[in-house]
Amino acid sequence: MSTSVSTSFVVQYERDVHDAFQREGSYLRDTVRVKEGVVGKETNFQRIGKGTATTKARHGTITPMNQQHNAIPCPLDDFYASD
């Protein structure tokens, strides 16, 4: 087994990645949360903390997880970065 990647493989992989990301986000759309119809400069997304499930005996009580809830601000600006 080779420990290095050939240049032709790198070029082909780069082309495949560029093609995938130029499809206007159709592949990545399902991997992010989307909020439609937002007016203004900022919106909030709710974040819920970690919780742990517990076992329960028949007719037993369920222990609440008491998770933390935070509103995370999200600015609605365009960001650009070059390398």
Separation between Cα atoms, residue 7 and residue 44, nearest integer Å: 44
Separation between Cα atoms, residue 52 and residue 61, nearest integer Å: 15
pLDDT at 2: 57
Is residue 58, in this structure, part of any structural domain at all? Answer: no
Task: Please tell me the total count of domains within the chain.
Answer: 1
pLDDT at 32: 77
pTM of the model: 0.42
Separation between Cα atoms, residue 36 and residue 48, nearest integer Å: 21
Domain around 70: 7-51+65-75
Is residue 19, in this structure, part of any structural domain at all? Answer: yes
pLDDT at 56: 86
pLDDT at 19: 77
> Are 20 and 45 in contact, with CB atoms under 8 Å apart?
no
**Is a pLDDT exceeding 60 seen at residue 72?**
yes
Is residue 83, in this structure, part of any structural domain at all? Answer: no
**Is a pLDDT exceeding 70 seen at residue 25?**
no
Is residue 80, in this structure, part of any structural domain at all? Answer: no
Amino acid at 82: S
Handedness of CA 55, 57, 58, 63 (dihedral sign): negative
